Amino acid sequence: MEPLIELKGVVKEFRSVPPVRPLDGVSLAVAPGRIVAVTGVSGKGKSTLLNVMGGLLRADEGSVLYHGTDLVRASAAEIDAVHRCGIGFVFQSPYLFPALTARENMVMALRAAGQPVDGGAIDAMLEEVGLTDRADHLPAELSVGQKRRLVLARVLLAKHDLLLADEPTNDLDADWSDEVFGRFRAFVAEGERSVVVVTHDEAYARQADEVYVLEEGKLARREEVTPC
């Protein structure tokens, strides 16, 4: 089976003093229908990895192949099309339109993806994430956990085929953390879809189909890490 997304020899260096190279020859193939977890020490490049995978940052070397398009060399228009129709993000900080209600934020997600606005589907998704009674509230009126659930609902509703999630269970209790993983599992079961999730939660990571560790710019399967 062809990978949904594949990184080959990816290098990313930030030219600070001294230079920092969070990704140093990283290769990773993500097959459809898989949930892949990436763990590692904070500040060592996991978010950078997701940003490079999603075309938000360009690698300095290597390739990032998504449906035959190399995101390292793609034009701005090609990257925009990928973000609109293919790759969805759940960032560490919940990004929402502050002047729009929870429901209106969902509407914007569908319009941005070029999909018809289905009020019934929006209400159903809000109910699934426990936000029915917050549908007409602005983001400033939501708790951090509620904002995070709204971001998840928005990206799931848009029907991308690859989700890149950066610490998606931050600010959520254990029950909602399990619920998020259940949503990811249902998402990949619907078709040719995959999820790559960065997490510090070891118990959460163990639920994934594959677990990788990013350390000193190198990515290794959990089974390949030599125990201390």
For 168, half-sphere exposure in the C-beta direction (CA atoms, 13 angstrom radius) is 31
- Mean pLDDT of the residues in the chain: 90
- The proportion of the chain whose per-residue pLDDT surpasses 90, expressed as a percent, equals 62
Query: Looking at the domain covering 5-221, what would its CATH class be?
Result: alpha beta
Instruction: Report pTM.
Output: 0.89
User: What 3-state class would DSSP assign to 65?
Assistant: strand
- How far is it, in rounded angstroms, from Cα 132 to Cα 81? 31
Mention every residue, 6+ apart, whose C-beta is less than 8 A from residue 81: none
- How far is it, in rounded angstroms, from Cα 38 to Cα 200? 9
In the β-sheet with 69-70, what is the strand arrangement from edge to edge? 20-30, 5-14, 61-66, 69-70
Length of the chain: 228
Confidence at residue 44, expressed as pLDDT on a 0 to 100 scale: 82
Q: What is the dihedral of CA 95, 168, 31, 219, to 10 degrees?
A: 100
In this structure, what token pair is assigned to residue 10? 């990816």
In this structure, what token pair is assigned to residue 186? 């249902």
Q: What is the mean pLDDT of each run of 10 residues along the chain (228 residues)?
A: 94 88 96 94 90 96 95 95 90 89 93 86 93 96 91 88 90 80 89 91 88 95 57
Residue 208 gets the label, from left (phi > 0), alpha (psi -120 to 50) or beta, of: beta
What radius of gyration do the chain's Cα atoms show?
18
Are β-strands 87-90 and 194-198 bridged in parallel, bridged antiparallel, or unpaired?
unpaired
Residue corresponding to tokens 């949904």: 4
Domain ranges of the chain: 5-221
Q: What is the pLDDT of residues 95-145, one digit of tens each?
A: 899 999 999 999 998 888 888 888 999 999 999 899 999 999 999 999 988
